[in-house]
Every structure is written in C-alpha cells, then in structure tokens.
Amino acid sequence: MKLNIHQFYTWFSGAPLHIVAILAVALGLQILGGRAISSAMGRIANADFVPGPQRTATRQRERAQTTGTILKSALNGLIWLIALSMMLSEFGLNLGPVVASAGVLGVALGLGAQTIVRDLLAGIFMLIEDQYGVGDSVDVLEVKGVVESVGLRITTIRGEDGTLWYLRNGEILKIGNKSQPKRA
C-alpha cells in the first residue's frame, strides 16, 4: 500500500493537525499563565503592604508563594481539562453523555469528599486571613506548640513535649496565636 504526499496531507490536515494545535495552544497557555501568576505573586511578595517594623516579609513571601502554587495548579487543571475535552471531540466522541456522567460522579465525589473540601477551603481562608504561619507559637485544640508547616489541607505543629501533630485545617475551629504582634 503506497501512501503519497497528497493523501498524507489530507489525512494530517484533519484531526491530527487539530490535536497538535490544541496541544500547542494548551502548552502555550500553561507557560504564559504560569509566568503571569509567578510575576504577580512576586510583586505581591515584595510589596510593602504593612510599612514599619511590624512588616513580616518572610511570612508575606510564603503566603504569596503558596497562593501562586494554588493558582497555577487550578489554571493547569482547567487548561488541560478543556484541551482533553477538545481532543476527545476531535476523535468523534460525543461529550454530552460524558458531561452528564461527570455531573453525577461530581455529586457523588462531593458527598464523599466533604472533609477534604472543607479542609482545603479552611486552609485557603486561613492563608488569606494570615491566622498563623511557620514559626508561630500557637494553642489549638489540645495542642500547644510551634507551627512547623502550613499546607492547604494539613498544618503540622511541634508540641511542647516534642510530639509532631498533624491537624486538618477543617477541624481547627479555634486557635490562639501567641506570636502575632499587637495591631495598632
């Protein structure tokens, strides 16, 4: 079976060319979006929002870095979800039933993953409100100690007795922070 240039061009100018274009655009958007987010978070990290001696530059940089990571992950997920659905439609897959199934599956996962979603949302608001950060001396639940790491879902605290506690952010309802300076 002999394939000539015209037949190859006719075949390639259809779905394969569209898929290559979708991949190129998605990759370009991922790179440009990542750079834009990094640039914006860099400006926020170095901005002087709280002038004077109470300014905690390290903490502000950490918060900006964490927020940038969240935004990049969300952007990448959205870009590749759209790209994948566009590529599947190029193969002739009817996306109507897939979207309907995804809706039902989303509801089932949403009901099953309520604690994860609650932990993530609590972590985002904790980060935005700057309730505590790495190195702060805190009193939370029955744990008193120093915050070692802060994540969107889990916060780790080294207790006064040396125990490392892993606390889900959604379970932290009340926290005392002994390291926060008094606000004027």
Domain boundary, last residue among 92, 118, 149? 92
| Residue 117 forms part of a structural domain | no
Q: Is residue 56 part of a domain?
A: yes
Residue that finishes a domain, picked among 67, 92, 117: 92
Domain around 60: 5-92
Mean pLDDT for 104-121 is: 80
Looking at the structure, tell me whether residues 66 and 15 fall in a common domain: yes
* 58 and 132 belong to one structural domain: no
Are 84 and 10 found together in one domain? yes
3-class SS of residue 91: coil
User: What is the C-alpha separation between 60 and 66, in angstroms, rounded?
Assistant: 10
Same domain, 86 and 134: no
Buried/exposed code over 131-164 (b: 16+ C-beta within 10 A; e: otherwise): bbbeebbbebeebbbbbeebebbebbbeeeeeee
Phi, psi of 148 (to 5 degrees): -100, -35
For the segment 167-176, the average pLDDT, to the nearest whole number, is 89
Per residue in 135-147, pLDDT (tens digit) is: 889 998 889 999 9
Within-domain flag for 73? yes
Same domain? 21 vs 87? yes
Query: What average pLDDT does the structure give for the chain?
Result: 83
All residues at 6 or more sequence positions from 140 whose CB lies less than 8 Å from its CB, including other chains? 157, 167, 172, 174, 175, 176
CA-CA distance, 169 to 151, in Å (whole number)?
Answer: 8
116 domain residue, yes or no: no
Helix axis angle for 95-112 and 114-129, nearest 10°, is 80
Does the structure show a pLDDT above 70 at 184?
Answer: no
Whether residue 29 is contained in a domain is answered as yes
Residues 42 and 86 in one domain: yes
Cα separation values, 52 from 15, 34, 49, 134, 183, Å: 59, 32, 10, 21, 12
Predicted confidence (pLDDT) per residue in 3-14, tens digit: 677 777 776 777
Tens digit of pLDDT for each residue in 18-58? 888 999 999 999 999 999 999 998 888 777 665 555 556 67
Query: Which CATH number belongs to the domain containing residue 165 in this structure?
Result: 2.30.30.60
Instruction: Say if 113 falls within a structural domain.
Output: no
Q: How many domains is the chain built from?
A: 2
Range of 101-105, 150-154, 164-168 with top mean pLDDT: 164-168
Q: How far apart are CA 17 and CA 21, in angstroms?
A: 6
Which of 92, 119, 143 delimits the end of a domain? Answer: 92
The CA distances from residue 24 to 17, 21, 54, 87, 95, in Å, are 10, 5, 46, 12, 22
